[in-house]
Amino acid sequence: MRIAKTRAIFNAAVDVFSVRGFEKATMDEIAAKAKVAKGTIYYHFKSKEDLFVFLVDEGTKLLGESVLSKLPDQASATEQLRVIIREQLAFFQEYRDFCIIILREAWGEDTRQREFRRMLVHYVRSIQTIVENGIANGEFVTSDPETSAWSIFGGISIRAIHHIFTGSGENLTSFSPAMEQLIISGLSRSG
């Protein structure tokens, strides 16, 4: 029972936070959506902030696991990067709420925002590592792997969120080929 309620609150919170944003989200709405009394949320989480941080931790961990578990061990850096692009888009397709929450709530000096960025940095470092491996084995060329990694992460994320708010029902993964090409080969015809 305990886990069931915690789960219900978690799901409701993801929903409400993504629609309203952290500040405008109310515990009342989360409680209603989770079909528990407001006090029940406070029995399981010590505050709104605590609930949010829990959700962000889980969500970012899930992003990491979802994407990184798909990486083929023996493949080239190029292939690995393609997988990253494809799987991050797939993750945002399945968890649109997290895509919104990430872009909206990570930037600021509040505790929850710092914690959020700490998780994000961890994820982006995985991309950076792949880029660095690619450089090491001669596949890639770049003067600044950190900039590359954040640009790749940001490109995918902003492309996704723009689609979420503006696009048709099209699946996010349909952008994968164009993005892979852009990131691997660049725009230039000669490459």
Partner DNA sequence: GATGAATGAGCTTTCATTCAT
Partner DNA sequence: CATGAATGAAAGCTCATTCAT
40, 129, 133, 142: which one binds its own copies (CB under 8 A): 142
The CB density around residue 69, as the number of other CB atoms within 10 Å, is: 8
Binding mask 29-68 for DNA (x = CB under 7 A): -------xxxxx-xxx-xxxx-------------------
Our finding on whether 26 is near DNA (CB under 7 A) is yes
Our finding on whether 187 is near DNA (CB under 7 A) is no
Give residues with Cβ within 8 angstroms of 101, minimum separation 6. 14, 17, 18, 55, 56, 59
Our finding on whether 168 is near its own copies (CB under 8 A) is no
**Sign of the alpha-carbon torsion through 41, 44, 46, 50:** negative
Asked if 108 and 120 touch (Cβ cutoff 8 Å), the reply is no
For residue 28, the minimal CB distance to its own copies (Å) is 11
For residue 112, the minimal CB distance to DNA (Å) is 11
Lookup result for tokens 């902030």? 49
Our finding on whether 53 is near its own copies (CB under 8 A) is no
Our finding on whether 191 is near its own copies (CB under 8 A) is yes
Asked if 13 and 52 touch (Cβ cutoff 8 Å), the reply is yes
CB-neighbour burial class of residue 186 (10 A; exposed 0-12, middle 13-18, buried 19+): exposed
Closer by beta carbon to its own copies, 51 or else 183: 183
For residue 69, the minimal CB distance to its own copies (Å) is 23
Our finding on whether 21 is near its own copies (CB under 8 A) is yes
Q: Give whole-number Cα distances, 61 to 54, 120, 133, 178, in Å.
A: 11, 9, 23, 27
- List the structure tokens of 81: 């990067």
Q: By CB under 7 A, what part of segment 63-92 binds DNA?
A: none
Decide which of DNA, its own copies, none touches 64; Cβ closer than 5 to 8 Å per partner kind: none
Positions in the binding site for DNA (CB under 7 A): 1-2, 4-5, 24-28, 36-40, 42-44, 46-49
